[in-house]
Amino acid sequence: MEQTQIHATQIGDEGDRIVFLHGLFGQGKNFTRIAKALTPQFSSLLVDLPNHGRSAWTETVDYVDLADRVAQFLRDGFAADGPVHIVGHSMGGKVAMVLALRHPDIVDRLVVADISPRHSESAGQFEHLLDSLKSLDLSTIHRRGDAEEQLRPLVPNDAVRGFLLQNLRSTPEGFRWQANLDLLRDSLIPIAGFPDIDATFDHPVLWLAGERSDYITDADRPEMERLFPRMTYVVIKGAGHWLHSDQPEAFTSALRVFLSTDRWR
């Protein structure tokens, strides 16, 4: 496996180390508020996953490959001195799960946010969002407001639209997408899936779910408990799928308690 350039930003320089892995369309900076709130008790590494943010693009999207690339990146730097905590949301949660299953020596405690290790039946929402972004005529966009106007009829939710437009960057040649939209659109089936891995992760795991989200179902629980037998399941009230954005204080509190309390040793 060739080394892939992965961009990450560190917040804090003391305390236990946490690595944050974002979801589809996201970037490491989405966890900036959470990471700052956790200082000085924790130092955090906010990772841009491949094909997102300022990290390099790859030719395929595969969770095993992504997890191995992140593991190599961590071994060479943030986790060089020993295991770290991993927090992953949505697609990043699947990367985090695979990372823990395949590289348990570099993972102390794992937090999975609002996703399960199952194959989703439909990626219709993401098809619509990706197609909406790809439909924008970047040659006609001269300021960010132009993109906002073009996207509003397709994505009327202000919060979702603003989140998506974080991927738009101004360059000397005009506006460009940072995320690898073509590859992500062509890879929705593997993104919605989860690999078969003959392993379990026998370290403490916190599973956070949004009260208003349907990304985790009762039918998912047996597989979650099989792969991660030491899991604790917590529902964050008033939160949807983007629970760290909907309820940042509750999300931060849950992380702080789980990652610092001896009962989960």
Q: Which residues are catalytically annotated?
A: 90, 182, 241
- Residue 94 tokens, joined: 């699947």
What are the DSSP calls for 49-107, one per residue? -TTSTTSPP-S---HHHHHHHHHHHHHTTTTTTS-EEEEEETHHHHHHHHHHHH-GGGE
- Tokens 């966890």 found at: 31
Say which amino acid occupies 71.
Answer: A
Nearest to 60 by CA among 187, 170, 173: 187
Pairing of strands 174-177, 84-89: unpaired
- Are 123 and 191 contacting, i.e. CB atoms less than 8 angstroms apart? yes
- Tokens 């629980």 found at: 221
Cβ neighbours, 10 Å, residue 156: 9
- Are 191 and 24 contacting, i.e. CB atoms less than 8 angstroms apart? yes
At a CB cut-off of 8 Å and minimum separation 6, what does 9 contact?
28, 29, 32, 45, 46
- Residue 83 tokens, joined: 């295991």
Say which amino acid occupies 64.
Answer: V
